[in-house]
Amino acid sequence: MSETEQTEEKVGWLRRLKQGLRRSTGAFSDGIASIFTKRRLDEAALAELEELLINADLGPAAAAEVVENFRRTRFGKEVTPEEVREALAGEIAALLAPVAVPLPFLPQAKPQVILVVGVNGTGKTTTIGKLAQNFRKQGKQVMLAAGDTFRAAAIEQLQIWGERVGAPVVAGAVGGDAAGLAFDALKRAKAEGCDILLVDTAGRLQNKAHLMAELEKIGRVLKKLDPQAPHATLLVLDATTGQNALSQVEAFLGVCKVTGLVMTKLDGTARGGILVALAKKYALPVHAIGVGEAAEDMQPFDPLAFARALTGAI
Amino acid sequence: MFETLTGRLGEVLNRLTKRGALSEGDVNEALREVRLALLEADVALPVVKRFIDEVRSKAVGAEVLRSVTPGQMVIKVVQDHLVEMLGKAQAEIDLLAPAPVPIMLVGLQGSGKTTSCAKIARLLSERQKKKVLMASLDVARPAAQEQLRVLGEQAGVATLPVIAGQMPVDIAKRAIQAAKLQSFDVVLLDTAGRIHIDEALMAEALAVRDAVQPHETLLVADALTGQDAVRLAEQFHKRIGLTGIVLTRMDGDGRGGAALSMRAVTGQPIKLIGIGEKLDQMEPFHPDRIASRILGMGDVVSLVEKAAETLEKEAAEKLAAKMEKGTFDLEDLASQLRQMRKLGGMQGVLSLLPGVAKVKKQLADSGVADKQLARQEAIISSMTPWERRNPKLIHASRKQRIARGSGATVPEINRLLKQHRQMADMMKRVKKMGKAGLMPPQGFPPGLMPRR
């Protein structure tokens, strides 16, 4: 990929993220403006600020902490809305900076196995399609494993993505054993010398023990062929999800050693503020965010851009 | 996280319970915790504020001060108001229109529209014996139409044959036409997922609405939705006009605050909830059941209330009398088991008790407990009345007879008898505590609560 293309793309996604978030941050920014039109940062103002953060799905605990930091540094000062936005964005970006880590590529793995997990409807299959597209663009050999053998037409959905991006799809029968399929896919990917194997899984709610056990089995079976596999396990989170995301991360971490997060649907009015709470509690890398349905709408996670979009400081 | 909050809330409320009268300060302190509980449950902030204000105006004042136990009163006001806001009456899908009745499903991507569509179709065709036609207008997501076709086959519901390349409005018109010709009662239209700020897709939904004039327009939304719930419900309602809400993923461990938010901003009832991945796992919505879940405070008081509601008065009185005497035989245990099942089984009872979230989860995972209740009932039914009143006299050969009669094994009968002995012991302790005015220990079966 050329330098200009990269910049262009960067502008492209930033614009998209801004567009998505701006529509949503309208209310947030207005809120800040109305609180801080040249006003002293007092208790009442801080309380309102906390509410605005809660409104962005940070959750009461994380919102309280961010505001607490804010109080320490700026209490009683005269501030403008812009200053508040910038400072708040800086505060949040600092919290998020350590988790903004791109998905590492392991050239020696051959293939690097990436298992994609999450609850139903978060966008796992779409995320795989987008990831495959990105890897293909970098000239990598990619294979997809249609491990969602439960949902009707999930296999077809992945096959369509496979055709779009030019990646072979290993699929079995509907209702088949996902672990067995993953095993076969890894075997084939090894034989064909693929760089990346993306394994799709059926969506499952984290409180369904038997479904979570199935996930554990997939990991176990993959290890028979490659003790390092899966090299990465991505948990896909929906940006519209609220505080339940904490419970999702905890449960999936317990079962299948999640190595990183992908947050989808950030093009809505949802702000994905839960990422702040997650960063504080679990410090898991956030590899990418999804800001639209097209393949190029999958982007690396940029904490400052995210935080600025969140607070309307753009 | 929730456990600690529940604990804290419990503490505050416990303190209240022990006082004789309530000041405004006390109520405010309790309501601060309630506010946190609501926010942790993802109830949207504007809705939380409104709720707290309304509860405060109800709770502070004579109504509470005059009551015997003010703490309970606060909890009750909170609970009642929550149920009220969630919609008291149970709302059903309205089919009172000339056939074919068009029903349109809208919602965000991944909220579960297609699955819900098949579930609703199944519900209408099996329970109400309606002839239902489903049509997918989702031309955006790969294989979405195929998904509905497969689900239709599984549910035994007809789907409109797919014509590749046809646009949503045309598919909708074709569906209505086909339904008229083939005399279907209901047409379910599954639309593509759309974000409520996407103008093009909203315009498309509007065009479909105008073309078919749906009798019901249902918003399918994820019960795990966060603060965004109000905005999305508001937008969909404002733009397309909703007649009801379908909440999916209620079987997750989310506390479902979205239900309250969406009900509050749209004023439209929650008509159905999805409680599992299988096609028969869709149920009517019961506001009272979700109220305590949103609060996550599983208070013993509501358990007592619920027990009192469900228990036949007579049985309760009889039990009270037995407790006075300190006798508790197998007849009582059997009636306990029956009452427990009425309360929604072990899980239902446990969700009302604080601090047992973990136990509940394990139970849910095993799925054993409720089956055991039924089994134990069967064992007791296989005893003679004399045996039930005198459990001590059940010796080996009687056990064998009971085992044969109930399809159980002797060890199972031994376990039941042991359990009964333990409960009888507990009864004695409760009797003493009841006199001292203490609350019973946690995890105590319902109906055994000392009655004030």
Looking at the domain assignment, is residue B309 inside a domain?
Answer: yes
CB contact under 8 A, B252 and A269: no
3-state DSSP assignment of residue A291: coil
pLDDT at A13: 53
Q: Which of B233, B266, B295 is the last residue of a domain?
A: B295
Q: Cα separation of A235 and A260, whole Å?
A: 6
pLDDT of residue B298 exceeding 70 = no
Q: Cα separation of B158 and A134, whole Å?
A: 39
- Residue B421 pLDDT class (50, 70, 90 cuts): confident
Where in chain A does DSSP place strands (E)? 39-40, 78-79, 112-117, 142-145, 169-170, 196-199, 232-238, 260-264, 286-290, 298-300
Looking at the domain assignment, is residue B96 inside a domain?
Answer: no
Q: Which of A85-94, A165-174, A217-226, B421-430 has the lowest mean pLDDT?
A: B421-430
pLDDT at B110: 87
Q: Does A247 touch chain B (CB under 8 A)?
A: yes
Percent of chain A exceeding pLDDT 70 equals 86
3-state DSSP assignment of residue B271: strand
pLDDT of residue B10 exceeding 60 = no
Q: Which of A116-120, A220-224, B293-297, B371-375 has the lowest mean pLDDT?
A: B293-297
Could you read off the pLDDT of B90-122 as tens digits, one per residue?
A: 788 999 999 899 999 999 988 999 999 999 999
Q: Does A19 touch chain B (CB under 8 A)?
A: no
pLDDT at A39: 67
Question: Could you tell me which residue, A33 or A219, shows the higher pLDDT?
Answer: A219
Q: Are A47 and A274 in contact (CB under 8 A)?
A: no
- CATH at residue B384: 1.10.260.30
Q: Does A161 touch chain B (CB under 8 A)?
A: yes
Q: Are B47 and B260 in contact (CB under 8 A)?
A: yes
Which residue in chain A has the smallest CA separation from B365? A209
Looking at the domain assignment, is residue B362 inside a domain?
Answer: yes
- Rounded-to-10 torsion of CA B45, B49, B52, B56: 170
ipTM over 0.85: no
pLDDT at B183: 94
pLDDT of residue B336 exceeding 80 = no
B316 and B275 part of one domain: no
CB contact under 8 A, B364 and A122: no
Residue in the block written with tokens 């409109």: B160
Looking at the domain assignment, is residue B358 inside a domain?
Answer: yes
B374 and B420 part of one domain: yes
Q: At what angle do helices B70-86 and B2-18 cross, to 10 degrees?
A: 130
The total number of structural domains that make up chain B: 3
Give me the DSSP letters along B74-98.
HHHHHHHHHHHHH-SS-------SS
- Show Cβ contacts of residue A291 under 8 Å, excluding neighbours closer than 6 positions: A13, A16, A17, A20, A266, A267, A297, A298, A299
Contact residues on chain B for A269, CB-CB shorter than 8 A = 195-197, 228, 231-232
Could you read off the pLDDT of B384-399 as tens digits, one per residue?
A: 988 888 888 888 899 9
pTM given for the model: 0.74
Quick one: which of B335, B354, B322 has its CA closest to B443? B354
Taken in order B310, B312, B315, B320, the sign of the CA dihedral is positive
B361 and B444 part of one domain: yes
- Rounded-to-10 torsion of CA B17, B22, B24, B30: 0
Q: Which A residues 179-198 touch B at CB under 8 Å?
A: none
- Residue B432 pLDDT class (50, 70, 90 cuts): low
Q: Cα separation of B354 and B10, whole Å?
A: 8
Structural domain including B29 reads 3-86
B316 and B439 part of one domain: yes
Q: Cα separation of A235 and B24, whole Å?
A: 46
Q: Are A165 and A113 in contact (CB under 8 A)?
A: no
B200 and B287 part of one domain: yes
B183 and B281 part of one domain: yes
B137 and B165 part of one domain: yes
**Mean predicted confidence (pLDDT) in B148-166:** 94
Looking at the domain assignment, is residue B8 inside a domain?
Answer: yes
Q: Cα separation of B139 and B7, whole Å?
A: 49
Q: Cα separation of B325 and B55, whole Å?
A: 42
B107 and B230 part of one domain: yes
Tell me the residue type at A101.
Answer: V
Q: Which A residues 85-144 touch B at CB under 8 Å?
A: 119-123
Contact residues on chain B for A17, CB-CB shorter than 8 A = none
Q: Which B residues 26-85 touch A at CB under 8 Å?
A: 36, 39-42, 44-45
pLDDT at A308: 86
CB contact under 8 A, A268 and B232: yes
Looking at the domain assignment, is residue B188 inside a domain?
Answer: yes
pLDDT at B370: 66
**Mean predicted confidence (pLDDT) in B153-173:** 94
- Residue B443 pLDDT class (50, 70, 90 cuts): very low
Quick one: which of B176, B251, B187 has its CA closest to B217? B187
* Two structure tokens written together for B376: 């134990």
B126 and B271 part of one domain: yes
**Alpha helix (H) ranges present in B240-329?**
257-266, 287-295, 300-310, 313-325
Q: What is the mean pLDDT of chain A?
A: 85
Could you read off the pLDDT of B200-240 as tens digits, one per residue?
A: 889 999 999 999 999 999 999 999 999 989 888 999 999 99
Which residue in chain A has the smallest CA separation from B38? A60
Q: Cα separation of A121 and B70, whole Å?
A: 44
B276 and B331 part of one domain: no
CB contact under 8 A, B1 and A246: yes
Q: What is the mean pLDDT of chain B?
A: 78
- Residue A21 pLDDT class (50, 70, 90 cuts): low
Distance from CA of A301 to the nearest CA of B (A): 21
Q: Which of B295, B330, B345 is the last residue of a domain?
A: B295
- CATH at residue B284: 3.40.50.300
B162 and B245 part of one domain: yes
3-state DSSP assignment of residue B129: coil
Give me the DSSP letters along B355-415.
T-HHHHHHHHHH--HHHHHHHHHHHHHTS-HHHHH-GGG--HHHHHHHHHHHT--HHHHHH
B291 and B330 part of one domain: no
Q: Does B278 touch chain A (CB under 8 A)?
A: no
Question: Could you tell me which residue, B211 or A5, shows the higher pLDDT?
Answer: B211
pLDDT at B312: 47
Q: Does A60 touch chain B (CB under 8 A)?
A: yes
Q: Which of A120, A246, A270 sits opposite B249 (nearest CB)?
A: A120
Looking at the domain assignment, is residue B113 inside a domain?
Answer: yes
- Rounded-to-10 torsion of CA B178, B179, B180, B184: 150
Tell me the residue type at A118.
Answer: G
- Show Cβ contacts of residue B241 under 8 Å, excluding neighbours closer than 6 positions: B209, B217
pLDDT at A128: 96
Measured in whole angstroms, how far is the alpha carbon of residue A51 from the centre of its chain? Answer: 24
Q: Which of B258, B275, B295 is the last residue of a domain?
A: B295
- Residue A271 pLDDT class (50, 70, 90 cuts): confident
pLDDT at B445: 45
Q: At what angle do helices B257-266 and B70-86 cross, to 10 degrees?
A: 60
Looking at the domain assignment, is residue B93 inside a domain?
Answer: no
Work out how many CB contacts closer than 8 A connect A with B.
Answer: 145
